[in-house]
Chain A
Amino acid sequence: MSEKFDAIVVGAGPSGNAAAYTLAKSGLKVLQMERGEYAGSKNVQGAILYADALEKMIPDFRDDAPLERHIIEQRMWVMDDDSFVGTHYRSDGFNKEPFNRYTIIRAQFDKWFSAKVQEAGALVICETTVTDLLRDESNRVVGVQVDRDGGSIYADVVILADGVNSLLARKAGFHPELEPKNVALAVKEIHFMPQETLQERFNIGEEEGVVIELFGKITQGMMGTGFLYTNKESIAVGVGCMLSDFKEQKTTPYALLEQMKNHPSIKPLLAGGEMKEYTAHLIPEGGYKTIPKLYGDGWLIVGDSGMFVNAVHREGSNLAMTTGRIAAETVIDLVKEGKAMTAANLSIYRSRLDGSFVMKDLKKYQEMPEIFDANRQFFTIYPELVNRSAHHMLHVDGVDKKTKEREIFSSFRAKRSLFGLMGDAYKLWRAFR
């Protein structure tokens, strides 16, 4: 006898958990399938948790969620080979509760979230891979096929929350093949050290945390960024670049990370730490223009599977949770109104997303990937020029400051024509507009 549910959610990452939680909370009969050993066993993230997206579902999540530190300081470093020019923003305002951003360890966090999903009443089944979508004569999605005997399971609607590499969406033709220029490959390590050492090193208290965003020469001209976050007693450090760039440059991500960790400004931060975890994962960074069709007869796509990542602000899990929640709310509303899960009815999901920060932010940066892709000077020449200028100004050697300024300006002119400089300024403005 095959089982029948109101909704099936494929995947137990942040998007799937948000969807399954919201659906189950409303009393619907929900099945969630995860191919990993448990929720979080396959998941990788830096990781910053943005409270807002979670708070909208679980207002009191702070009571028991495994949170590492709340962020009070954000650093942005533009890297040259042995130096950086940076900005730091630190505020005691970030120490006022409720805190807004936290570092988390995804494996623990996802497990916690999954427990909430089960408490809410969803049936969660792990170690089971969904291999196909089931369709009826009219090609409507009516359930899923899994890799086990007796594995045809039916539902009124299937929510695909299966992550960046969504084989299901591609197999079903909802989604074109992922292009290497639209996904970043990121690697991350966690280095453990005593809490006191870490706090001293970053000048922070018991619960406070720091984020460092790294940009420039560390990516060797490839399009990407690095990051470093403080957990309770460990540091997450990682770097990601477009997959197409790795292919072209024949560099491996861990060689890149190894080199980044040896940068003279980064090495002392990690010194003495014990590396305990190494992971690699794809991030969909194609942005707004690569978002596929998000709904159809009997199905919806949420999270990374729908390319919902804001690469500029390194936001992914919050978009995943928000799209998961909105998809679930759409289904709940249709059930309440007694409406069928047709493409026409489910299209509200897209219009609700369009009205939310998710689409607005992604739209704002839609030109970004192409502009940076076509203008590698932003990753090479400018970081170098900015660093060398700073060095020149700060090196006291009897040359007057006016002459130094002139020299700096001509160094810019030598690398980029005046026209080039103005053009770059315009492109940057367009990318961030």
Chain B
Amino acid sequence: MHIVVCIKQVPDSAQIRVHPVTNTIMRQGVPAIINPYDLFALEEALRLKDQHGGTVTVITMGPPQAEAALRKALSFGADDAILITDRAFAGADTLATSFALASAIRQIQKNMPVDMVFTGKQTIDGDTAQVGPGVAKRLDMQLLTYVSKVVSVKPDKAEIVVERRAEGGVQVLKTRLPCLVTVLDGNNQMRFANMPNMFRAARHPLKRWSREEAGIVDEDIAKIGLKGSPTVVSKVFAPTPKSERAEMIAVESGDPKDLAVTVLAKMFTRFPAVEKEIAKRAQ
């Protein structure tokens, strides 16, 4: 059984720190992590490997730094890793990304047939959830999205059963292999790598594939990277908060009693009903 897991390196939004005094956000040095959903996908794949044996190959399309994400995946137990990296891929949207990934997976299949492709449900930076379905379509694979759990795989029958989270409940779905699964934050938790795997990951000869090695011929160059990307992000901005802003109340004396009186007076003018209610209860 051979499972290919697609992972993407994203900025760790959880590690953006806030200054204790000024409350400003500090973006400097925010580390890159593996997209959290992709870790769930990888863990599901590794569990299947634990049960049935087989091979797990991780791939990512990204800049040279994405090597760190692949090495980490290797330390968790993936058998092989391929970094698809080429200037020609820069600026890819979901269309171009899925074209390139599908082409790379076809190349992988030439060496060893692929039974399943796992991706995350979506990324935490692009958030489109389109790459998985895009790859499935191009590879003409069965597609299972929003999967919270792989219930069983029967390699001899080329069959997979999963739980899929849908509105109003959980669907149990069965389909045939080969199949692409997009994985939700489900029941599993990524294992803690053991030391022998840490050593193996650090020493593993990583494969780096250029455009040609990923099987993209010259005629298709307009289907990858910026050229192959009809989507343009024209602007990125933080929406203005809708709620009213907090008001600073200045108290001259700094005496707690004065402070309480001022705050209450302010509150009562703004919400007369509150004052009435308190007065009523006090009686």
Contact = CB atoms under 8 A, between A and B. Distances in A.
B194 to A, nearest CB: 4
Interface residues of B, number: 21
A151 B193 CA distance: 11
Nearest to B29: A107
A258 B19 CA distance: 11
Contacts, number: 53
B221 to A, nearest CB: 32
Given A148-B198, A150-B196, A190-B28, A278 B203 contact: no
Interface in A141-160: 146, 148-151, 153
Interface residues of A, number: 26
Contacts of B28: 190, 276-277
A150 B192 CA distance: 12
A266 B28 CA distance: 23
A37 interface: yes
Contacts of A278: 17, 19-20, 26
Contacts of B193: 148
B156 to A, nearest CB: 32
Interface string A248-286: 000000110010000000000000001111100000000
B29 A125 contact: no
Most interface-central of A149, A255, A258 (chain B CB within 10 A): A149
Chain B contact surface mostly:
loop
A275 B198 contact: no
Contacts of B31: 37-38, 41
A3 interface: yes
Contacts of B234: none
Interface string B188-216: 00001111101100110000000000000
Given A123-B202, A124-B202, A125-B199, A276 B194 contact: no
Contacts of B283: none
B27 interface: yes
Interface string A127-169: 0100000000000000000101111010000000000000000
Interface of A: 1, 3, 37-38, 41, 107, 123-125, 128, 146, 148-151, 153, 189-190, 254-255, 258, 274-278
23 contacts: A1-B196, A3-B199, A37-B31, A38-B68, A41-B31, A123-B199, A123-B202, A123-B203, A125-B199, A148-B192, A148-B193, A148-B195, A150-B194, A150-B195, A153-B195, A254-B20, A258-B21, A275-B24, A276-B27, A277-B29, A278-B17, A278-B19, A278-B26
